[in-house]
Each structure stands twice: as structure tokens, then as C-alpha cells.
A = this chain, B = another copy of it.
Amino acid sequence: LHIENIGRIKAGIVGATGYAGVEILRLLLNHPEVEISALSSVSFPGQNITDIYPNLQGRIDMELVGQEEVITRSQVVFGALPHGLSEDLAFRCMERGVLYIDMGADFRLKDSDEYQRWYGESFKHPQLHQMAVYGIPELFRDAIKTASIIANPGCYPTAAALGLAPAIRSGLIEPEGIIIDAKSGVSGAGRTPTQNTHFPECQDSFSPYKVAMHRHTPEIEQTLTAVGDSRASVTFVPHLLPVSRGILSTMYARRKSHCSVSVVQEIYSQAYENERFVRLLPPGQTADIRRVAYSNYCDISIHEDRRNDLLIVVSAIDNMVKGAAGQAIQNMNIRLRVRENVGIDMVPSAF
């Protein structure tokens, strides 16, 4: 990468008017080591970003340009595109020595067959997929430090992986047949209005969707398999919560041998003791999306069902921060040798 440490990092965003794109922008506007170099949008070319997002008035005054211009002007490019559009973008970034952080699904799955099975498409640039590093810092920090392409994880996979990884790595639970009952705020559905995100029908509603068919399933299994020593399988059922922000996953796993919840608590405590953005809650507390909203935290609480010998782990994140933009910036910080929490150290509010 041609990253010269002269002055602030020049960061560009491709797909800046989608929710993931604009959340990266919003956070970077308070990142002391970064300056926004360029923003692109297919939907609103030539308009000012504040025309689309008036909430940003007074903080930025920038016209939306094309992708090429973003690549040209930037040292790091965040690509927030619908899946299938990122490979070419990554390729062009590689050609120019620009760090590429992908917010979409294109580089998350390592196995091209699995990608074909769940997304119905095949890899165009297989060599890029070998370069890509899956960006959950708490699990794969070393690889991120030298990556040229970072596949920023999906929101659900982030919450699931952080919640289950220590238990799997330590052999506390069976990696097969884990049930992940996940609930996400509506911002996860993106910016485009639809009938089921129309306020009068969405408010006071709650429902699952894509039951056991969601594309984040293989991504979760890939990570859990990677941290353990045998193939993991999960039943993954997402639900739509009538809130804007937050994912909470309630995860049920069979214990391998009876190991008390206090031992599990201790193992998790060690696993995350040096992690700024993972908070293992004390026994008796339960993770809550309210307490991580608008922050980069992942809160985890540990429970058990003794009667049925299950370990129950609950994890909560802000789907747009630790589940998307915040984690992307965390990855950028790691790669570009900025202190890891710079720009993403928001303190959550109780109300």
C-alpha cells in the first residue's frame, strides 16, 4: 500500500449515501487522523451529501462524485455497495495501492462453492479473495494488520462470532446444532423505503424473516469453524425489531461437558480482558441493545439452562457501528497503525 504517513489519512467512501456509507462518514467526521477525500453515489451524482443527509449540515460540504475519483483521491476506500459490485472496485484499488475495506458480502466467504450456493454468483477475481482478510479485530487482529483488502463482517455474524468464539475455542460447547435467535433494528434493512419498513406498519410490529435461510448463516459457520477445531453448524433465525439500531442475539448451545457457568464466565473474561470494545457483563446482568446503541461496544452476558444442560450466550451490538461502520474504522485503525479506539470511542447512553 502506498500509505504515506504525512498528515491525515485520506479516506474515501464508495456508496456514501447508503446507510453503511453515511455512517462511516458520520464517524470519520470526528476522527482526528482522517480527512474525507471523496464520496461517490450512483443514486445522487453531483448532489451535495448534505442535500441527502441534512443532519450533516455544518460538518461537511462535499459533492458526490464517481468511483474513479474516490479511488484516485484516497489512501483508503470504504466500499458500501450491494453485493456483486465490490470485486471490480477492490481490483482497481489494488492496482493503485489503495487499502480497500469492503462493507458488502463479496469477500466474506472464503469458499467459492458456498458463495455460489448462498448468493447465486461466483468469484470473478479469485486471487483477491485469497488476499482478503475477514475483519473481526478481536479474533483476527494479526491478519488485519497487514491486509490490503479487509472484508468487513456482516452485522449478525459479528454479534454471533463475538458471543460464541471463546466457548468454541475452549471446547466448552458442541459446535454443531447451535441455535441463534437474532433480532435486528430496522436500519439493517438499509435506506430504501419498503412496505414492511413503512412506519405505520413497522412500529409495534415484530416478526422473523428469512427463517433459517438468511445469507449470514454460512458466514457465521465459517467463523465458528475457524476458531474451533471442527465444523460448526448453526440454525440462524433473524427478526426485525421496531427500533432503528441494535442487534441482540440469543444463542443456545449444548455444553460438551458439564462446566459451570462461572467457569464459562471466567474463560470469557480472559478472552476479552484486553479488548476495548467487548464488555463481558457481570453475572446477573443481561445484554441490552440500549446500552450499546451508537457505540462500538459488543456486550455479552452468559447464562445457562441447567435443566436442559445448555449454555445460553446473549450478545448485543449496534448493527451500524460494531456491526458495520465502527468495526470498519476499527479495522482501518489497526491496518494504518492508528490507536484502535480513535474516532469510535463513543460512550453509550442509558436513555
A interface, CB within 8 angstroms of B: 19, 22-23, 26-27, 29-30, 53-59, 176-177, 179, 181, 183, 185-187, 189, 191-195, 197-209, 211-212, 233-235, 237, 239, 241-246, 248, 250, 252, 276, 279, 281, 285-291, 293-294, 297, 303-308, 310, 312, 314, 316, 320, 345-351
A-B pairs with lowest CB-CB distance, top 7: A205-B290, A200-B351, A193-B193, A212-B305, A207-B288, A181-B181, A55-B291
Q: A310 to chain B: which residues have CB within 8 Å?
A: 179, 212, 235
Query: Which of B26, B197, B243, B316 touches A198 (beta carbons < 8 Å)?
Result: B197
A246 contacts B288, CB within 8 Å? Answer: no
Query: Which of B22, B176, B211 touches A350 (beta carbons < 8 Å)?
Result: B22
Query: Quick one: closest B residue to A293, CB to CB?
Result: B204
Q: A176 to chain B: which residues have CB within 8 Å?
A: 308
How many angstroms between the C-alpha atoms of A190 and B242 in the bound complex? 19
Q: A211 to chain B: which residues have CB within 8 Å?
A: 286, 303, 305, 312, 314
Query: Which of B205, B235, B289, B314 touches A252 (beta carbons < 8 Å)?
Result: B235
How many angstroms between the C-alpha atoms of A293 and B316 in the bound complex? 22
How many angstroms between the C-alpha atoms of A126 and B274 in the bound complex? 53
Q: A286 to chain B: which residues have CB within 8 Å?
A: 207-209, 211
A267–chain B nearest beta-carbon distance, Å: 19
Query: Which of B57, B200, B207, B209 touches A187 (beta carbons < 8 Å)?
Result: B200
A241–chain B nearest beta-carbon distance, Å: 6
A30 contacts B349, CB within 8 Å? Answer: no
A350 contacts B177, CB within 8 Å? Answer: no
Query: Quick one: closest B residue to A350, CB to CB?
Result: B55
Other than the known A186-B199, A193-B195, A208-B250, what 20 A-B pairs have Cβ atoms closer than 8 Å?
A26-B347, A55-B347, A56-B347, A58-B276, A179-B179, A181-B252, A193-B194, A197-B199, A201-B350, A203-B244, A204-B244, A204-B290, A205-B288, A206-B241, A207-B287, A207-B290, A208-B248, A235-B308, A235-B310, A239-B250
